[in-house]
Chains A and B, each alone.
Chain A
């Protein structure tokens, strides 16, 4: 039955992340007249031809599919803005540029459903791909700095999709360091004779906990 994605708690599937992104606000220009919509997720409209209005992305895409509107691509999705972001992204090896939290999914949905509304779509598309690659490379090189002393990792401006991709790895890496590190931090008074008591002490307790 629908409604649940994967057996692992706490990890979002790609489609669930897309679902979340579909609530982001988007500007559309309708070509028909329609009364205001009073929905559970908010009130939108009324819609008049040629008058721009704001709706969630899912609504924009639905209307677009039916040929009822054009979507105005968000400001950050212009060649100019993206070129700036890409440059800045390349210049600062340790920081991520501020992009919308859902930039991967928003751009993907717009490329799929509103290609004729995006000026210079091929350029925009390849810029976003480049930005993704640069950012991902940074995440990967950042992972090398994780060590036993890492209690927190700061990833300011990382987007949801990126979080979702690196989540399993980062969590397990940190977990592994934490697990192997703790016995040393906890004083073990009776651990003098045997060389392996920390493992023996922590082992049985841990085994019972599902990972």
Chain B
């Protein structure tokens, strides 16, 4: 049932990865990487969209099966999906498995199993979005003035803008406005600072645990080239995030 709706949302680039694994697997990977990486990673727009479709589909089926599940409960489930994102309601959802489900004697069991499946996926999706929001809150100034901005989804960008506005206003009113001239910038310690030294930045040279998916081969850890690691499949390493950044983005390595 749920898997049938996917096809329409496949794009060239993720068709291949989809063939290998399920969306839940992919979402789990995105969640783990996002949680472990110090900086914000690219928003997995297609993946999130697909996961939402499937959640929506399953929610509809469950609601159709459960007489007790009325409109308000459905809204309750839908509420979880918002989380700073605009939910795009998909019309024309087919309810083909309703008869299958309600015709069976072990109805309750099956429905509760589907409910668990739904809860697990919802948890992953919510947690993924929330980790991102936490990072945005923490590094909003840094994100908004660097390339990282493009990694956010449209809704996240809105969130970041609003958040920055509120934070700026708050700091202005509570502290900065009362400081002497030259110390009133939200970005700089004082007017004599050459760069924006009051902007929290993610610490890219922190160490992270990572696991290689396939064989990456000899990999240079620092610019000087005196540290080379041979990454074989399934190796577990503790490395500096900065040095394997590219591999994480390219999907060759997973953070754990």
Contact = CB atoms under 8 A, between A and B. Distances in A.
A158 B54 contact: no
Given A153-B238, A174-B207, A41 B121 contact: yes
B238 A171 contact: yes
Contacts of A171: 206-208, 238
Contacts of A123: none
B117 A41 contact: yes
Nearest to A34: B106
A178 B221 CA distance: 14
A178 B32 CA distance: 25
A103 interface: no
B252 to A, nearest CB: 16
A19 interface: yes
Contacts of B138: 9, 210
B118 interface: yes
Contact of B54 (A40, A153, A155, A204): A40
A163 B114 contact: no
Q: On chain B, which size bracket covers the interface? A: 35 or more
A39 B37 CA distance: 29
Nearest to B58: A40
B155 interface: no
Contacts of B206: 171, 175
B151 interface: no
A208 B141 CA distance: 14
Contacts, number: 136
Interface stretch (A58-66, A114-122, A127-135): A58-66
A4 B130 contact: yes
Interface string A1-18: 011100001111000000
A95 B55 CA distance: 43
Contact of A58 (B2, B32, B120, B222): B120
A210 B139 CA distance: 10
Contacts of B116: 58-59, 62
Contacts of A40: 2, 22-24, 51, 54-55, 58, 117-118, 121
B63 interface: no
Given A3-B123, A171-B206, A151 B240 contact: yes
Interface in B171-201: 197-198, 200-201
5 smallest beta-carbon distances between A and B, as pairs? A153-B238, A41-B24, A39-B117, A3-B126, A151-B227
17 contacts: A2-B123, A4-B127, A10-B208, A34-B106, A37-B117, A39-B113, A40-B2, A40-B54, A41-B117, A41-B121, A152-B221, A153-B237, A155-B209, A175-B207, A205-B197, A208-B200, A209-B200
